[in-house]
Structure 1
Amino acid sequence: MNTTSPPLVRLAFPQLERAIPCEPGETVLESARRHGVRIVGACGGRGSCGSCEVRIVEGEHAVSNEADDGDYTCRARSAKTSPAAWVRACRIRPGSDCTIEISPRSLAAVVRTDATPDAREVLVPDTVIGSRDVELSAPALDDAECDVSRLLRALGLPNGAFDLAAAREMPTRLREHRWKVRARLRGDRLIGVTAPGRPNLGLAIDLGTTNVAGFLVDLDSGGQLATLAIENPQGAWGADLITRIDAAARSKESFAALRDGAREAIDVLAHDLCRAVDADTDDIVDAAVCGNTAMHHLLLGLPVASLGRSPFVAALRDALDVEAREIGLAFCAGARVHFAPNVGGFVGGDHCAALLATQAQWSGARTALVLDIGTNTEITLVHDGALHSASCPSGPALEGGNIRCGMRAAEGAIERVAVDRDGAFSLRVIGRSAPLGLCGSGVVDAIAALRGIGALDDRGRLIRAHRHVHSLEGKAVARLAPGVLFTQDDVRSAQLAKAAIRTATELLLQRAQCEAADIERFVVAGAFGAWLDVGRCIEIGLFPELPRERFVQVGNAAGAGIRRMLVSESARKRAREIARQCRYVELSTTPEFQKTFLRCIGFDRGTDARRTT
């Protein structure tokens, strides 16, 4: 009996200068995900979103047009005989070596941005991290003291005041630098040895569902040296948290892959940021991380299955300090990672960090709202000194995900949509590229613009009779630019996101027994929130109708907060106090949830929690 396994095939991606093996029976997306080729897959490979478009330039392959059925019995195609159309990578199973082109919208390239609201802010260090340069006498036959004791004596520290990890590297480092070294200290404890004059660096990480932002800080001065944001590699497993939680719960392998994806993102940021300032990752002596509860758990290797089902209980809520090497991060030998405390449910340390950073905006108001918009939107209503916090699964639509022509805020993304005097679309595109797709602010603008010209009604229905609305595959679409369509399904995705955010806002107002008009400060946080047009958000009912001067757009407040927690013991203490103050509200069990959601689903600007239906 012949037991020979089918041979592996080779998938070449010329754009990335990469070639990877593909197992028999694997789809292109599955193989790409396994080998770190970052193709966007918003639905996690279920075939329902269309975000993983590729084109088979050369090679035999089978294509299924059905989502979630696993049926690939359709006739094999050849790129030589079939037109090279864009096809979903999750629907293709290669039958031979293939050359594959990834659609620009689906290519999850590294996105480098200014990820902080004010990179010039210098924070006053308040940590126990320090260093001392020392010169030791070399050992000899009549002076054979061990290396650890020799260095501790020179530093005036007692025996035992060292990390084992530092001792492991010490013999090599002492001899490499001819007994002239810099000792890295955490209080009165030796945590590392390096060359004289090396910097003490800190790394702050905002581990977002969609993007991961890193901030490299000089721990001696408190100044920020560099900042960078990249896409979360976990995006290949799904754009939303529930999809990733389901994947993590499915098998040990997928859980490990998601954990490793979070660690990989931090590794990329650490290396790129250090390279930018001629430093080394060994110079990172301290780190701080914030993220929503699922991101926090996955990086720490904590189980997430209980987060995905009622009553949505976390494994851990409190702030946590761990050794960097314990979670696979190769920094200074004794480097530690400070995790911001979670609040409850999916309201994680990222929101706690955002509240810390925006405290000046909300603490002086009787009623204030802090809205951190993202794939998982987190909201805190401050009223009469009480903090009511909740989250809502707004999904990726307002960040360009699950949109037919959606993309990240990168070159070629439409960020503004208006209509000129002649009734034609006027677009503002990021960079110098032709329009490739819509990012989040472009989605909001497109809805507002289409409503403004009567092409979209308040219920979210594209009006087929309008000159800007066409029919494609039996569905209504608006053509914003050549190759860039905004479909009825896109409208529905954005509508659900808008309704989720507005519902959460209204229910928290009800909980505190106040009204939208009472809000004195409406703080809009999140990297996406920094680019929103507040007026457009009011027009489509995403934000309540308030005087514009009450709105404050602060950008990545979570990033600003975790920077403070990195350099300051007192900031970490204050973050723990804020987390204890927050009263977590599980919105899905609120009796008024369904009625309020239905009231908020439309695009009219008159939504109000107190209005009767």
Structure 2
Amino acid sequence: MKKNVYMKKGENILQGLKERNISFYAPCSGKGICGKCKVKIKNSTSNITEEEIKHLSKKEIEEGIRLACKTYMSEDGEVEIDYDINGCKNDLKKIKYNTKSFIQQKYIKIDLENGVSVIDIIKKQLNNVYIDNEMMRNISNINYNEGINITLYKDRIIDIKNDNYFNEKYGIAIDIGTTTVAVYLLNLNTGEQISVKSFQNPQAVYGSDVISRINYTIENKKGIDVLRQKIIKEIDYNIGLILDQFNIDRQEVYKCVIVGNTTMSHLFWGLNLNTLSKIPFIPINREMLYDRACNIAFDNMNKNAVVIFLPNIAGFLGSDTVAAMIEADFINNDKNILLIDLGTNGEIVLFTKKSILACSTAAGPAFEGANIKFGMQAFDGAINKLNIKEDIEYETINNKKARGICGSALVDIVSEMKKSGIINKTGKINNPEKIKNDKLRNRVLKKDKKYEFKITENISITQDDIRQLQLAKSAIRSGINILMEKQKISIQDLDYIYLAGAFGNFINKESAKGIGLIPNVDSDNIISLGNAAGEGAKKFLCNDNLEEDINYYMNNTEHVDIAKYENFQEEFLKNIYL
């Protein structure tokens, strides 16, 4: 779908989109490096730049396509953007979770008597609960001749009403990913998942990775506030959309559980990121944090709803990793399990009977398509599967016309090119003369003195694309190997590999093994957990007893800084090979 945006004379288009709170895919944050922020201009603009000439085809330039980050309006006018990459996805799949919620509703009557206060009476009936000043003001306005309905979270009153009707209790679970945010609505009485919406993280316009966003907050005085407000407003807006869709009263939403990497949690709470920007990458906070919805500006839930952000492990191991361990259920396991969350920031956890080791790897945005010439996120029209027989065969998301390549297909393509002899183990595209298959040979073209492999008339894989995948792959595999070496276990000792994250959910296991991204274990023992972070958040949303497990994972997971590993460079170079 297309969207027209009105711009003023002199405005930089990308900056104008930021100021209008329009989430737009700009992975390099306006540096002109990625070539992804393409827009169609309907009026006069500044002259085309060298960066645009490098990234845009002659046909695109003739059609008025420009890079938003490098283009300024010469007059007031319209800019057309592809808006389907920024829209929400809604999944109505019904799931139920175990419910053991600390949110309780109790109906009491207040009989006034001499020598005691109203608060004394309430505390006596509810076993000495905590009542803050604001709730005390609310209680003072209650009609004491009627019974009152009190909602509690643990030992704290969070809502009070003058009726004996017990409301439904709803909760929101949120996974703040660097690229994508998922918001889940659940019924806390039944444990039923009602809906989920996912959308692009609005902070992505300031950079596709956490380092870019950390740098933005350091280079801009109000950077933390800008990024914080963007994510809070977008989350609250999407919560409202879900509640409206199902006609749910906002006052019945009493709990919200959030997970994300350490940078996302710091930005959410407005914490300074300076200590995360330099060695030894120390977070300001690791513990689980609580607050009321009204203090965060979450308007689409009960103002006293408890908002909980799960704890972090280290500077680049956040609560999303803790939540993924909840989903993996390590505590109730006696197997050797490798948990891998494949994404811009790769998180790896090795669980054995002896210990829990974890590390993070800077895989970069290749798996999200950011540094790939025709790469894109997993939206309609993205090639998501490919294999090579006599010629190539591919599928696109929702069977739409091919627009680009997403991460799962990138792994397929490189694996299949290797098997077919189009590239060698170093990742180099072979001279076409060495390729026996005529159809495949004709797909290898030379552009700018480098070979690339043609997939469709307008989409190809370049030598640089393959190198980007090799770097991402080596980062992940090096982390895996270092954890296994530290724990002194071999591939044969692994019982299971769990793949987490959207990318991990759709990746072809054989292709991943084929390029050496993951260890070569039996595919039946490689299990896709889907969005494990989101699943862990939902489980804790419904079951407060899991707090003990969460604290165990936070306190008993040893963070391994692989960059300090003495043979890291050697390991990384070794794993570059396919």
> Aligned pair in 2 of structure 1 residues 495, 114: CA closer, same or farther (>3 Å)?
farther
Report the more deviating stretch, 397-406 or 340-349: 397-406
1:41 aligns with 2:11: no
Matching residue of 2:66: 87
Equivalent residue for 1:290?
259
What's the counterpart of residue 54 of structure 1? 39
Label 1:154 to 1:323 Cα distance change in 2 as closer, same or farther (>3 A): closer
Following the alignment from structure 2 to structure 1, what is the Cα–Cα distance between the partners of residues 343 and 242? 24
Deviation (angstroms), 1:553: 1.2
* 1:392 partnered with 2:361: yes
* CA deviation vs aligned residue, 1:105-151 (integer Å, no higher than 9, x gap): xx532241549xxx6543332232122467999xxxxx9x9xx9599
User: Contact 2:151–2:157 at 8 Å: present in 1 too?
Assistant: yes
Residue 313 of structure 2 corresponds to residue 343 of structure 1: yes
Q: Which amino acid aligns with 1:548?
A: S
What secondary structure is seen at the aligned counterpart in 2 of 1:591?
coil
Q: Quick one: distance in 1 between partners of 2:128 and 2:520?
A: 65
- Pick one of 323, 337, 340 that aligns with 1:353: 323
Cα distance change on mapping 1:361 and 1:576 into 2, 3 Å:
closer
Q: Unaligned stretches of 5+ in structure 2? A: 54-60, 433-440
**SS at 1:403 equivalent:** coil
- Change beyond 3 A, Cα 1:39–1:173: farther
The percent of aligned pairs where both chains have the same amino acid is 27
Q: How far does residue 515 in structure 1 lie from its aligned partner after superposition?
A: 1.9
Deviates more, 1:405-414 or 1:121-130: 121-130
**Correspondence 1:601-612 to 2 at 5 A:** 601-603=576-578
- Who is 2:463 aligned against? 488
Take 2:476 and 2:332, find their aligned partners in 1: how far apart are those partners?
19
Could you say which residue in structure 2 is the equivalent of 1:590?
Answer: 565
Question: Match for 1:277: what amino acid?
Answer: F
Is contact 1:165-1:333 (8 Å) kept?
A: no
Partner of 1:59, secondary structure, is coil
Whether the aligned pair in 1 keeps the contact of 2:21 and 2:230 (CA below 8 Å) is no
**1:464 and 1:470 in contact (8 A); partners too:** no
2:48 is the counterpart of 1:63:
yes
Tell me the equivalent position of 2:302.
332
Which amino acid in the other structure matches residue 46 of structure 1? Answer: K
- Asked whether 1:456 is paired with 2:441, we answer no
Look up the match of 2:398.
431
Q: Does 1:110 align with 2:87?
A: yes
Q: Does 1:543 align with 2:513?
A: no
Query: What is the 5 A alignment of 1:242-321?
Result: 242-321=211-290
Matched, 1:97 2:72: no
CA distance in 1, matches of 2:345, 2:41: 34
- Give the deviation of 1:400 after TM superposition: 2.3
Is 586-595 or 86-95 further displaced after alignment? 86-95
3-state DSSP of counterpart to 2:104: strand
Give secondary structure in 2 for the equivalent of 1:476: strand
- What amino acid sits opposite 2:100 in the alignment? D
Gap change, CA 1:472 and 1:268, over 3 Å in 2: farther
Residue identity in the other structure for 2:422? A
Measure the CA separation in 1 of the matches of 2:228 and 2:218. 12
Q: Which has the higher helix share?
A: 2
Query: In 2 relative to 1, CA 356–23 (structure 1 residues): closer, same or farther, beyond 3 Å?
Result: farther
How far did residue 325 of structure 1 move? 2.3
The normalised TM-score by structure 1 is: 0.84
CA distance in 2, matches of 1:474, 1:32: 36
The AA in structure 2 aligned to 1:41 is A
Q: Equivalents in 2 of 1:23, 1:253: separation in Å?
A: 25
Residue 320 of structure 1 and its aligned partner are, at CA, apart by 1.8
Kindly indicate whether residue 208 of structure 2 is the aligned counterpart of residue 231 of structure 1.
no
Deviation at 1:174, TM superposition (A): 7.8
Aligned amino acid, residue 309 of structure 1 = K
Change (3 A) 1:262 1:297: same
State how far apart, in whole Å, the 1-side matches of 2:486 and 2:286 are. 23
Shifted more, 31-40 versus 263-272: the winner is 263-272
> Cα distance 1:274–1:587, how it changes in 2: closer, same or farther (>3 A)?
same
State the Cα distance separating 1:41 from its structure 2 match.
0.6
- In structure 1, distance between residues paired with 2:275 and 2:86: 32
Structure 2: which amino acid aligns with 1:337? V
2:331 matches 1:364: no
Give how far 1:335 is off. 1.2
AA aligned opposite 1:191: I
Counterpart of 2:151 in structure 1: which amino acid?
Answer: R
1:510 equivalent in alignment to 2:485? yes
- Following TM superposition, by how much is the alpha carbon of 1:277 offset from its aligned partner in structure 2, in angstroms? 2.1
Task: Decide whether the 8 Å contact of 1:181 with 1:196 is kept in 2.
Answer: no
Displacement of 1:294: 0.4
Whether contact under 8 Å (1:57, 1:84) holds in the other structure is no
Residue pair 1:369, 1:521 contacting (<8 A) in 2 also: yes
Task: Measure how far apart 1:420 and its partner are.
Answer: 3.7
